[in-house]
Chain A
Amino acid sequence: MATSVLLACGLNEQKLPGFVHISEESNVDGSFLISCILGQRLRISNAGTLLVCLQHHYQHYFNAGMRLGYNTNIFQGKTLGVIDVLSDMAGEGLASKWLRQSEGQTLTDQLVEDIRAQVESNYASRNSYTVLIDNLSILFNLGASKLQVQQFCQDLAALAKERDNLTVITKLSNSDIYQLTDNNVAKLGQVRIQVLRLKSGVFREVDGKLLIERVLDEGNYACEETRKEVLYKVNDRNVKVFTPGEIGVKV
């Protein structure tokens, strides 16, 4: 279903790097990656996952998951925890806690607090724990400043460093607009996946390009890293990956 794309990104292992960042260019939809990663984490026994819904509701991930062959409802409340910010805002309207700065706490402060609380209560009983955040640009939309978002990501990166087997995966849309924040957040982790559109236009057999950058060894003076580029196509029930040159225009 989604094994090939996870294999290409190096995210198909049980133990993931501490911090992974997904950059999404404007006019490109990379939310399939979140669904793929979520499915992979849920399939591992006794692996905890926390999904922070900022771009889509939980229902979207449930439906996308059903297409990929897993049912999130089975795991919810057990190994899967959900912070559905969008549903809260829809239900409570403008009085929602995410829109108010209660006791001087900003939106990002409240979110970090909630994530920490979830990790504290679940981490001990799990072999590994993954926090998935989709997506950071909604924080900007809701009024968070660049500094606040940067601080939010640094807090999460610190959380991942504090604990073994804790992974934080963030996604940022419109990475070409929020370039500074995108680069700074990517620096916090070892793996960066860029979801890019095809510069040559729209092609029926390929949706876009994934550029995977992985830091292998960060020394004092030199940094060894690998870069891999693959093309992807999101189908109804799976995601296919091609190496550049594999697929071409059929005459």
Chain B
Amino acid sequence: MTSFRKRTVQKPIRGTRTSPHTAQVITSSGNPYLDVVIGGGLPMGSICLIEEDRFMTHAKVLAKYFLAEGVLSKQEIFLGSLDDLPAEMLRCLPKPLTELETEVEQQEEQQAQGAGGTENGLRIAWRYNDLPLVNSEHATAKIGHHFNLMEQMDSMMLYYANTTMWDDNYKGILELFKSSSPTPSTLEQQPVEDAPPIPGEENTPLEKTQPQEENSANNNNNNNSSSVTSSTKTGSQESQSQVFHNARYGNLLNDIQHLLRDESFVAGTKKNLCRVCLTSLGSPLWYDEHFGEDLIKFLTLLMASVRNCNSVCLITMPMHLIAKYDASLVPKIRQLVDYAIELESFAGSERETHPAFKEYSGLLHLHKMSALNTLAVHMPDTTDLAFKLRRKKFVIEKFHLPPELQESTAKPDSCISGVLSNSNASASLDF
């Protein structure tokens, strides 16, 4: 008997790779710039929280990137929202760029940067010419795709996507639910009639997706006896009312858990990955008397489910509204996610017209990056980050102030001071 063992290399899940730094399986967030910031991509089993900007424009863009990446990587997608129409959101996913288009775009960028460099060639501190440009946060990623925000994804791509949507379909049956009558709690698909059709197309891709979902649901049901399924459903409804005061949380969690229990997402088996995307969770539509209690409990149970299988989750939340509701909820929520990223948009603030910020759409604050399935967490080169929403893409860069070319005796503006540092200026150094 020899100690020789044939090395069998398992095929990785589509759209994932193993991080050389942490040895974790990571997947792209959809935005290559965000991937660079968080260390290559989202680790499997992680939850990324995007704290929405006031007008919810930028957070939605990141959510669309996340979903579009899932469609391209042929991963399972769960999209839940009360504020948005999930079907409409899926229909507006950005169009992926081909490899040729990506290369052309990158070359154009390099040329633009090169041209800028020769025009503004440094004559005094010329050695800095050798260093990479300040805003060259972008790096090549082996996973992930590039997208064009100006154009929408081809309907045929969405046709083959495995999507599950959740919205306020339960509005009508909430009363029934309260009276504990048995109601079906299978994965709810967005009714096609609700979604506005694409002009010029009779059969929308989502209409075609529905039978697929039904088939897969039927297949799952076929494995189990129908009587058992119905009895467990009734039991789960009872337990929902015990666990949550607001039945919507129970319904949403039940649907997510139902999907994640599929054998293709069992941890350890490298079959497929599920992307769970919840937009505007905790918005005023979720409010009730026990809002905080239910939300925290929901996130705890979601964390348990997502970490237990091959899945990643992206949540967008209006944290500025939640902070007004109850300020103590903010750190509690951040504790339950692995990445907490705040998008602070300049829209509507005095910074919008300020010359120092004219290049950017807002600031990106990294509130939390936790070590999941590892000891140390990846830290980006800098935490002073800003984002800009260009016509075709969402760009995240190192934040830098423009050079001060004119001498002035005026003191720096209050809005600039404190932006570059996370610290309290009055606090003494710890070391």
Contacts and interface: CB of A to CB of B under 8 A. Distances in A.
Contacts of A209: 430
A124 to B, nearest CB: 33
Contact of A177 (B21, B331, B428): B331
A64 B335 contact: no
A93 B331 contact: no
A246 to B, nearest CB: 8
B331 A27 contact: yes
B240 interface: yes
A59 interface: yes
A68 B243 CA distance: 38
B254 A201 contact: no
A236 B240 contact: no
A57 B21 CA distance: 21
Given A27-B368, A199-B430, A247-B431, A87 B304 contact: yes
Interface string A190-211: 0000000011111110100100
B334 A60 contact: no
Interface string A126-150: 0000000000011001110000000
Nearest to A242: B431
Interface in A224-251: 231, 234-237, 239, 242, 244-249
Contacts of A137: 332, 335
A158 interface: no
B422 A202 contact: yes
B293 interface: yes
A125 B371 CA distance: 35
A16 B236 CA distance: 44
Contacts of B379: 204
A11 interface: no
A93 B335 contact: no
Interface in A54-93: 56-57, 59-60, 63-64, 67-68, 86-87, 89-91, 93
Interface string B224-263: 0000000010011001101100000010011001001000
B220 interface: no
Contacts of A198: 423, 430-431
B374 interface: yes
Contact of A94 (B243, B307, B421, B431): B243
Contact of B371 (A141, A234, A242): A234
Contacts of A201: 421-424, 427
B62 interface: no
Given A200-B423, A206-B430, A206-B431, A68 B375 contact: yes
Contacts of B22: 236
B368 to A, nearest CB: 6
Interface stretch (B116-124, B194-202, B203-211, B295-303): B295-303
Contact of B307 (A26, A90, A174): A90
A137 B88 CA distance: 38
Contacts of A203: 430-431
Interface residues of B, number: 54
Which of the listed residues A35, A89, A101 has the most CB atoms from chain B within 10 Å of its own CB? A89
A174 B376 contact: no
Contacts of B85: none
Nearest to B260: A90
B308 A90 contact: yes
A64 B375 contact: yes
B92 interface: no
A244 B431 CA distance: 5
B301 A174 contact: no
A57 to B, nearest CB: 5
A187 interface: no
Contact of B254 (A86, A94, A204): A94
A108 to B, nearest CB: 15
A95 interface: yes
A209 B429 CA distance: 12
Nearest to A31: B371
B331 A26 contact: yes
A114 interface: no
A57 B308 contact: yes
Contact of A59 (B267, B332, B370, B383): B267
A141 B305 CA distance: 15
Contacts of B269: none
B240 A200 contact: no
A231 B308 contact: no
B98 interface: no
A7 interface: no
Which of the listed residues B22, B308, B370 has the most CB atoms from chain A within 10 Å of its own CB? B308
A231 B429 CA distance: 12
A90 B305 contact: yes
Contact of B335 (A63, A94, A174, A237): A174
A41 to B, nearest CB: 17
Contacts of B250: 94
A113 interface: no
B181 interface: no
A99 interface: yes
A63 B303 CA distance: 18
22 contacts: A27-B368, A35-B375, A60-B373, A63-B374, A64-B374, A86-B303, A89-B301, A90-B309, A94-B236, A94-B239, A95-B232, A100-B239, A138-B300, A141-B299, A141-B300, A142-B300, A198-B423, A200-B427, A204-B379, A235-B375, A242-B431, A248-B431
Given A29-B370, A60-B373, A173-B335, 19 more contacts: A63-B374, A86-B303, A90-B304, A90-B305, A90-B308, A94-B301, A95-B236, A99-B239, A99-B243, A100-B242, A141-B297, A176-B331, A177-B332, A199-B428, A199-B430, A200-B428, A201-B427, A234-B375, A244-B430
* 7 residue pairs, one from A and one from B, having the closest CB atoms: A201-B423, A90-B308, A26-B331, A63-B373, A94-B239, A86-B304, A141-B300
